[in-house]
Amino acid sequence: MKIFLSKMRRILLSLLLLTLMLSASSLDPTSCEVLSVVESIPDNLTFSNSSISNPSTTSALMQILGAAQLNLDIAEYYFDLRPDPPAEDGSDEDGKGIWEGLLVTGHRLKAAGGALRIVHNLPDKGFPDKDSKDLAEDGAAQVQYLDFKKLIGGGIIHTKLWIADQSHFYLGSANMDWQSLRQVKELGILGLNCPAVAQDLQKLFEIYWYLTTNPVPDNFPAVFDTIYNSSNPIKFQTLHPKSEMTAFLVSSPPQFCTKSRTVGIDGLLQVLNSAEKYIHIEVMDYFPAIIFKYPNKYWPIIDDALRRAVFDRGVELRLLVGLMPHNLTRPDEFNYLSSLAALDGSGSHRQVVSKVKMFIIPSYTPAQSRLTYARVNHAKFVVTEKHTYVSTSNWSGDYFTSTGGISLIMENGGEGGCGVCGVVHQVFDRDWSSEHTQPLRPWGSGSAQETQYPVF
Ligand SMILES: *C1O[C@@H](CO)[C@@H](O)[C@H](O)[C@H]1NC(C)=O
Ligand SMILES: *[C@@H]1O[C@H](CO)[C@@H](O)[C@H](O)[C@H]1NC(C)=O
Ligand SMILES: *[C@@H]1O[C@H](CO)[C@@H](O)[C@H](O)[C@H]1NC(C)=O
Ligand SMILES: *[C@@H]1O[C@H](CO)[C@@H](O)[C@H](O)[C@H]1NC(C)=O
Ligand SMILES: *[C@@H]1O[C@H](CO)[C@@H](O)[C@H](O)[C@H]1NC(C)=O
């Protein structure tokens, strides 16, 4: 452990130096030095026909830890970075390293007159808060909880967001879970010296923080509102890669949105409805229903948009869902997916393509095959010929009506536009054509199915 910590400190130190060099350039609120795709690729998973290699989620979070000088704000569903008992194969090393980094950074920020602030869901047995509580008890962090039952009658915060000094951020699919760093496939966006996006993200964090001690107001305080939305997107430049960007942030549930903020589902619908050539999607689960409330309710908002795109406009649809090894996802999901796939060759454009495939991550070691809620594609994004949408939400109605989530919607742009969008497109192509996809077929209920539906 000692050896490991000192290695981690060396990494932190070198990242700190890198960051000091970066922050030597002045912070223009319309600028963004680095905007990049970061991924968690589960241990031993390789892509035989791809040379894409994005930085890891762990390295992204480490860079933010190193970069933070006064403030680090984190919004998460739960914390589970240091499993007890530890991972059999040592793959909890990254999670432990991030926790250690949070401890060191939290104390450093406090000494500098700033703070590490953490918002997460009210904990329960399956979704604990031991890591954040230990940080708070050590004096390294301020931790507050969102009680969705009290706020809006039910739901959870499902956001995965880090922001430092209104400049650096991570937004994506990776939970604060050791498995999300090494055993689950995740995709997110890292911004460094990127106030253009981070300042607007900060407003969304402040709303969460406010709601930990206040009920949802009729009107939020004006400081939480934004000037950026789907009709007035943020325009900025990135240096790495060099590009001209147009982007905006959307938030769910609607109750958490200020006057000018575009609501999460509206942002997604804009992406789907404006596509004319193709819609390529990776999402873990797909249900045209509200599934965490009983009785379940039909909720065809996204499904309708996809069917219209395929049927009316001849848009090519490719949907890649993530299936867990023990297929804990409800087997009726297959019905909805096969119904979408059945559109293939239909509509006014008979040659249209509507294809659904499953991405299945093998276990390569006995220890991996014993993991329960891991070895799954948990990435959530959409690429069309016009937009790139990177999100934290699964696709059932719940995620848009009663779940806290944030998505970044970027216009692909022409030449010199949105370099990071091109990378997300490449990730989709890599995954869709990889040896880890399988044709859609029904799956069994799996052993834990009857007792619980985990939500990541
Ligand atoms: C999202 O991913 C995991 C899903 O969260 C699944 O186990 C879970 O059921 C799924 N949630 C859904 C559909 O809400
Ligand atoms: C799997 O990956 C781990 C961690 O990178 C490595 O130590 C191990 O040798 C790999 N095992 C196999 C079977 O490839
Ligand atoms: C978008 O933001 C602008 C302010 O920049 C505001 O005037 C407008 O009403 C907003 N649009 C929507 C749809 O909320
Ligand atoms: C990889 O590419 C080769 C050559 O194009 C092809 O024959 C093979 O089927 C591909 N493998 C996978 C898994 O896509
Ligand atoms: C689903 O789980 C069952 C039981 O564990 C297993 O037999 C089956 O192969 C799994 N299906 C898929 C598609 O992985």
What sections of 68-142 are H helices per DSSP?
Answer: 93-111, 130-137
Band (pLDDT 50/70/90 cuts) for residue 21 is very low
Decide if 188 contacts 420 (C-beta within 8 A).
no
- Say which ligand is closest to the CA of 258: 3
Decide if 456 contacts 175 (C-beta within 8 A).
yes
Active site residues: 158, 160, 165, 378
- Non-local (6+) Cβ contacts of 411 within 8 A are 233, 245, 246, 247, 386, 387, 417, 418, 421
Band (pLDDT 50/70/90 cuts) for residue 414 is confident
Would you say residue 24 has pLDDT above 50?
no
Is 176 part of any domain? yes
393 lines ligand 1 (CB under 6 A): no
pLDDT at 349: 63
Phi-psi region at 166: left, alpha or beta (left = phi > 0; alpha = psi -120 to 50): left
pLDDT in tens, 38-89: 999 999 999 998 989 999 999 999 999 999 999 999 999 999 999 999 999 9
Please name which of 369, 335, 329, 291 lies closest in space to residue 454, comparing C-alpha atoms.
329
- Non-local (6+) Cβ contacts of 240 within 8 A are 33, 34, 35, 36
Is 22 part of any domain? yes
- Distance, in Å, from the CA atom of 209 to the CA atom of 300, rounded to the nearest integer, reads 32
**Number of domains the chain contains:** 1
Domain encompassing residue 233: 2-451
Distances (CA, A) of 396 to 264, 284, 299, 302: 13, 10, 8, 9
403 lines ligand 1 (CB under 6 A): no
Atom of ligand 5 nearest to the CA of 442: 13
- pTM, two decimal places: 0.91
Going by alpha carbons, the residue nearest to atom 12 of ligand 3 is: 260
Is 193 part of any domain? yes
CATH number, domain at 140? Answer: 3.30.870.10
Is 38 part of any domain? yes
Atom of ligand 2 nearest to the CA of 43: 2
pLDDT in tens, 166-185: 999 999 999 999 999 999 99
Q: How far is the CA of 373 from the centre of ligand 5 (A)?
A: 14
What b-and-e string marks burial along 100-109, b requiring 16 or more CB atoms within 10 Å of the CB? bbbbbbbbbb
Is 153 part of any domain? yes
Averaging pLDDT over each range in 116-130, 147-161, 351-365, which range is the top one?
147-161
- Ligand 5 contacts (CB < 6 A) are 323, 326-327, 443-444, 446-447
Going by alpha carbons, the residue nearest to atom 3 of ligand 1 is: 455
Going by alpha carbons, the residue nearest to atom 14 of ligand 3 is: 260
pLDDT at 332: 87
- Say which ligand is closest to the CA of 226: 3
What amino acid occupies position 420? V
Question: What is the helix (H) or strand (E) element at residue 186, kind and residue range?
Answer: strand 186-192
Q: Is 69 helix (H, G, I), strand (E, B) or coil?
A: coil
Beta bridge partners of 382: 281, 389
Q: How far is the CA of 367 from the centre of ligand 4 (A)?
A: 29
Is 164 part of any domain? yes
Is 456 part of any domain? no
- Distance, in Å, from the CA atom of 169 to the CA atom of 191, rounded to the nearest integer, reads 5
Is 179 part of any domain? yes
pLDDT in tens, 185-230: 999 999 999 999 999 999 999 999 999 999 999 999 999 999 999 9
- Say which ligand is closest to the CA of 94: 2
406 lines ligand 1 (CB under 6 A): no
